[in-house]
Amino acid sequence: MNQVGENQESLRTDFLVVGTGLAGMSFALRMADFGHVTLLSKKRADESNTKLAQGGISAVGLTSDSFDQHVEDTLIAGAGLCRKQVVEAIVHQAPNCIDDLRKWGVVFDSELTTEGGHTQRRVYHVQDHTGLAVQEALHRRVLEHPNIEVLENTFAIDLITSRKVHPHSVEPLRCFGIYALNLASGRVLTIQAKVTALATGGAGKAYLYTSNWSGATGDGIAMACRAGARVTNLEFMQFHPTCLFHPSARNFLISEALRGEGAKLVDQKGVTFMKRYHPKGSLAPRDIVARSIDNEMKLTGAECVFLDITHKSKDFLQTHFPVIYERCAGLGISMDKEPIPVVPAAHYLCGGVLTDLHGRTEIEGLFVFGESGCTGLHGANRLASNSLLECLAIPQNGAQWIRTHADQYLLHDVEIPGWIYYGNQDKDEMIVIRHMWDEIRQLMWNYVGIVRSNRRLFRAQKRLENINSEISEYYWNFALHPDILELRNIATVAELTVRCALLRKESRGIHFNIDFPETDEGTLPMDTVL
């Protein structure tokens, strides 16, 4: 690395990837034989939402199944907002993606399972910890590859675009890399790259209750938006119906695969209720299940509902769901003898940075993969286990596009402005940062949650505008700190989410507004784009 002033460093790389989940690592592995890859993680490289994924990856694998059925299930779950061409392309890629994971060392269970919204058993899994198995396998491959450099504890601050380098240029917007904060040294690192790929995951931490890891703060979405990329469909935050309800395990997910194996949702009296809401009962699409649980809780005043799988033996549960069984047992819940208390929680963002099937954005040289991007696969509600599939398929497409169009992605010799430092650290003010963080999460849960209204959305918008103004003041007047950077990003995504929600004058999929309770069937379904 070359010194650029007392507190700055710089480096050049071919391919810069921000995020070390499945999307980021799979892209890095695909590009490593074509140039040097620099892979950034704001914490440890083995931490991501991928690691927490329990269910699996959907792909046609049985003779009783078909691509057409998988496509149809995805379109139905997406409530009319999926891009059919994208769905068809990714569904047809799925078996090849499974083969790639096997080549990278993932060993799937022999039997496929099913989850909500699927009409066939097509979910490839590793017991109940598929994401962990995938993360570990790819992490090993990444560390072994001589062309991949992993920078941990390195927080991406902002994208470096031609607007930054040449403020008055009329040329198309291009990305040259990023500014990043080295958390160990406190120095800002300027990274210049041929291609910059954001794979930073979703924004579940914008909500009070979430199944996401602590780093899911919408970093990639916020950075891309600030740089000039368009975002779309952020109103579609999917709430997973069954997050463990326990004071010591607020973000522990109870996999949908349990319902695939016959688990039923019941109330406090042990009475099933989902058939009142949908013919598929507990295996209805996630948006319906989450709203149904929310309604049951409001009707009864209960703090939670329960997931009953006591018809299965202890041996079956320990074999098929060892992680869930042990976690519940550690909290005093014997899931073979008693129902598991569950509540809905923010889980997966179906919107994101607007991209094409290759992950390309409107900014040249900038790609977005995984949950940070929006390809149109998920529409208004993601089909279970299509998320990890997208994390494989879009980076695969992006890598192929870059290799085919290599002449478009050259390392430009540009003079990138140095980072300008502002302010000093003020420990007393960090308390205010934490208070604002808590306020945003509570506000989003209460006003932009499973069920919304115009009044709640307008109140949220007004408060978030004020919060963002306050955060801007902190950002420009105090020393860089990861808590301020995350707060800045989550507040940006929260405000964008409210704006998208106010644009949608109907209820569709995950988004339910009591002032517009019906789906607008009279017009062609439209994305909300900012």
Which secondary structure element, helix H or strand E, spans residue 195, and what is its range? strand 188-198
Task: State whether 459 and 477 are in the same domain.
Answer: yes
Task: State whether 465 and 401 are in the same domain.
Answer: no
CA dihedral (62, 63, 65, 68) in degrees, to 10, reads 130
Task: State whether 270 and 249 are in the same domain.
Answer: yes
pLDDT exceeds 60 at position 454: yes
pLDDT tens profile 90-124: 999 999 999 999 999 999 999 998 887 899 999 99
Residues 203, 216 contacting (CB under 8 angstroms) = yes
pLDDT confidence of residue 523: 76
Q: Regarding predicted confidence, which is higher, 231 or 261? A: 231
Q: For residues 472 and 478, what is the distance between their CA atoms, to the nearest angstrom?
A: 10
- Phi-psi sector, 10: left (phi>0), alpha (psi -120 to 50), beta: beta
Task: Tokens 């406190």: give the residue.
Answer: 186
pLDDT exceeds 60 at position 464: yes
- Phi/psi of residue 250, nearest 5 degrees: -70, -25
pLDDT confidence of residue 438: 92
pLDDT confidence of residue 33: 94
Residues 138, 103 contacting (CB under 8 angstroms) = no
Residue 524 lies in a domain: no
Task: State whether 213 and 69 are in the same domain.
Answer: yes
Q: Mean pLDDT throughout 328-349? A: 94
pLDDT confidence of residue 178: 97
- In sequence order, what DSSP letters do the residues of 93-141 get, joined into one string? HHHHHHHHHHHTT----SS-B--TT-SS--EE-STT-HHHHHHHHHHHH
Task: Tokens 């870059």: give the residue.
Answer: 402
pLDDT confidence of residue 2: 36
What CATH number is given to the structural domain containing 269?
3.90.700.10
Share of the chain above pLDDT 90, in %: 73
pLDDT exceeds 50 at position 5: no
pLDDT confidence of residue 149: 97
Chain centroid offset of residue 171 CA:
32
425 — pLDDT class (breaks 50, 70, 90): low
Question: What token pair was written down for 308?
Answer: 């009953």
pLDDT exceeds 50 at position 511: yes
pLDDT tens profile 354-381: 999 999 999 999 999 999 999 999 999 9
What CATH number is given to the structural domain containing 395?
3.50.50.60
Q: Mean pLDDT throughout 344-350? A: 94
CB atoms within 10 A of CB 520: 15
pLDDT tens profile 169-195: 777 899 999 999 999 988 999 999 999
Task: State whether 446 and 362 are in the same domain.
Answer: no
The residues that bridge with 181 in the sheet, in sequence order, are: 155, 188
419 — pLDDT class (breaks 50, 70, 90): confident
Judged by average pLDDT, the poorest of 12-26, 75-89, 354-368, 407-421 is 407-421
Residues 6 or more apart in contact with residue 159 via CB below 8 angstroms? 175, 177, 178, 196, 223, 224, 226, 227, 363, 366
Question: What token pair was written down for 478?
Answer: 């105090």
426 — pLDDT class (breaks 50, 70, 90): low
Residue 508 lies in a domain: no
pLDDT tens profile 214-254: 999 999 999 999 999 999 999 999 998 899 998 877 778 89
pLDDT confidence of residue 413: 78
Structural domain boundaries, residue 258 = 240-346
pLDDT exceeds 70 at position 1: no
Question: What token pair was written down for 461?
Answer: 């918008």
Instruction: Indicate the burial class of 422 (C-beta count within 10 angstroms; 0-12, 13-18, 19 or more).
Output: exposed
Residue 450 lies in a domain: yes
Q: For residues 523 and 517, what is the distance between their CA atoms, to the nearest angstrom?
A: 16
pLDDT exceeds 90 at position 474: no
Q: Regarding predicted confidence, which is higher, 432 or 507? A: 507
pLDDT confidence of residue 55: 82
Residue 515 lies in a domain: no
Task: State whether 56 and 110 are in the same domain.
Answer: yes
Q: Which residues does the annotation mark as catalytic?
A: 286
Residues 6 or more apart in contact with residue 91 via CB below 8 angstroms? 60, 67, 70, 71, 74
Instruction: Indicate the burial class of 177 (C-beta count within 10 angstroms; 0-12, 13-18, 19 or more).
Output: buried
Task: State whether 227 and 365 are in the same domain.
Answer: yes
- What is the chain's mean pLDDT, rounded? 92
Q: For residues 200 and 23, what is the distance between their CA atoms, to the nearest angstrom?
A: 9
Task: State whether 340 and 387 are in the same domain.
Answer: no
Residue 517 lies in a domain: no
Share of the chain above pLDDT 70, in %: 97
What CATH number is given to the structural domain containing 481?
1.20.58.100
pLDDT confidence of residue 57: 96
Residues 113, 123 contacting (CB under 8 angstroms) = yes
Half-sphere exposure of 228 (CA within 13 A, CB side): 14
Please count the structural domains in the chain: 3
Residue 39 lies in a domain: yes
Q: Mean pLDDT throughout 478-502? A: 94
Q: For residues 298 and 107, what is the distance between their CA atoms, to the nearest angstrom?
A: 43
pLDDT confidence of residue 6: 56
pLDDT exceeds 80 at position 198: yes
pLDDT exceeds 50 at position 77: yes
The residues that bridge with 9 in the sheet, in sequence order, are: 3, 189
Write the CA distances from 294 to 22, 109, 323, 521, integer angstroms: 31, 34, 26, 25
3 — pLDDT class (breaks 50, 70, 90): very low
Q: Regarding predicted confidence, which is higher, 422 or 30? A: 30
Task: State whether 232 and 336 are in the same domain.
Answer: no
Task: State whether 216 and 276 are in the same domain.
Answer: no
Residues 6 or more apart in contact with residue 203 via CB below 8 angstroms? 216, 217, 218, 221, 237, 349, 490, 493, 494, 497
Q: For residues 492 and 223, what is the distance between their CA atoms, to the nearest angstrom?
A: 9
Write the CA distances from 32 to 15, 72, 370, integer angstroms: 8, 36, 19
Task: State whether 196 and 252 are in the same domain.
Answer: no
Q: Which ranges constitute the DSSP H helices of 130-218?
A: 130-144, 162-165
pLDDT confidence of residue 85: 97
Residues 13, 160 contacting (CB under 8 angstroms) = no
Last residue of a domain, one of 303, 329, 346: 346
Task: State whether 382 and 439 are in the same domain.
Answer: no
Residue 512 lies in a domain: no
Residue 335 lies in a domain: yes
**Amino acid in position 158:** D
